[in-house]
Amino acid sequence: MALVEALVTPDPQATTVQSPPVAESAARPVAAQPRSEAEPDADARSAAPAPRPPAPRRRASRRNAGTWAHQAVTESFADSVISSNTWATLGFRIVPEILTAVKARLAADRRSSGNAKLAVGHYLDAALRNAPTEVGEQVASAQAFLTRRMGVVDSGRQSTYRVGPQAQALATSLNAALQEADHARKGIFVVSAALESLLASLDAEGELPSPSMFAREG
């Protein structure tokens, strides 16, 4: 998600102050002192470039963080409880092999986190909140999903799941946007690809910890 240096110009109307007479002893030439070889001369010091200020650190995106998938699932569950009035039930079609993998992960996460109220909708919501929003990227993800399976997939049946407002917005506009881009009927593969990406990251991150772990980290 610059410093400006002020220059002060002397006032030309200011009264000129005469310097006091210089004493004789101060006017006598002083013998030049030998300079160390290691000491740079005045010209070299003035020519040396000023050190640059450190560049501002960019805030790492949650997607690049080591536990983005754990965080996404936990946040989806929390939002479904805290803001339950904003969640709604929508119909989704998910590739059967992906849905089976989601259910298997769900069962494992219920055991490791101790949260028996986790549901498929929380994983679907987490996946869609981190799915691409540009049509070109959505089409690319769907095509990559199909390519990995050589185009052989089962479309399965439509089921209903509760998801949050961000996932609702993406889901309700997805099919129309793909149709306008001449990629109708690809919505199932965009959704399934998003879930597949979430599952891969969850597998890499390991067991889902208790929600209290995220509360302590925050």
- Name the nearest CA neighbour of 127 among 86, 151, 149, 95: 95
Q: Which comes out higher in pLDDT, residue 153 or 9?
A: 153
CB atoms within 10 A of CB 26: 8
How many angstroms separate the Cα of 137 from the Cα of each of 1, 46, 62, 140, 208?
Answer: 20, 53, 19, 5, 29
- Name the nearest CA neighbour of 193 among 135, 148, 134: 148
Contacts of 185 (CB under 8 A, 6+ apart): 178
- Name the nearest CA neighbour of 128 among 195, 196, 199: 195
- Eight-state DSSP code of residue 156: -
| Residue 94 and residue 156 in contact, taking contact as beta carbons nearer than 8 Å | yes
Q: Which comes out higher in pLDDT, residue 50 or 59?
A: 50
pLDDT tens for each residue of 55-68: 433 333 445 456 89
pLDDT tens for each residue of 80-122: 999 999 999 999 999 999 999 999 999 999 999 999 999 999 9
pLDDT, position 216:
54
pLDDT, position 7:
33
The DSSP bridge partners found for residue 161 are 90
How many angstroms separate the Cα of 184 from the Cα of each of 33, 97, 137, 175, 189?
Answer: 86, 22, 15, 7, 11
Confidence of residue 156 (pLDDT cuts 50, 70, 90): confident
Query: Which residue in this structure is represented by tokens 């740079």?
Result: 40
Give yes or no for residue 159 having a pLDDT over 80: yes
pLDDT tens for each residue of 68-82: 999 999 999 999 999
